Structure 1
């Protein structure tokens, strides 16, 4: 396309390029979703973040962001006590990013549940209070 910009096949090439780009986006989404479905939440968060970074305009963006938020939450829930506060705080940060971008999401009910549970834990955990006092 760059070498022969006036070619008669230019439109066909652009269409094929877009089609192949969509396949890459779908593959990235499906591999990230696989980690989530396998309950590999740490790998899921990395894969979901990479998908969002590589394809910021994807049609799957809202779902990718929700899955990342949920994976971070589930990672925090299943963490060892020493890492829970940090991971819940990361979940809260991701919640605010999600709500800022999608205030009227189809995942609002689940997102609010995650928020309530996260803030409840952070308010109840003595390690958080100790950190705030220092």
Structure 2
């Protein structure tokens, strides 16, 4: 990752709110000459809670492919905003909130959608966004 002065970090989960966040982050980064890091965290804890189960490797592969699809779509959206924008994508297996908080140390700003796949209908801010906003080292 590059330094705080030139990176916008956006968390994505494939939801509509996430797509809007990517568009906003891309415009913000492009308007300021910043790079963009797109991060998607797989929700694998449920596969291994209690020791896992038969077939969990297959499910992990499915999650990984879905994560790759989510970041590829986000990258495409970024490049629609500005084809010259420096964009880096990553799929990780850790807690989204924990990774976003850690990565906020090297970011100018963290951008998240208002509610994602894990949110309850009608909530303005999901649990991940609320946690990150409360603990990040930069504006969210």
Q: Which has the larger radius of gyration?
A: 1
Q: TM-score, normalised by structure 2?
A: 0.26
The one of the two structures with greater contact order (alpha-carbon pairs below 8 A, sep at least 6) is 2
Structure number with the higher strand fraction is 2
Q: TM-score, normalised by structure 1?
A: 0.27
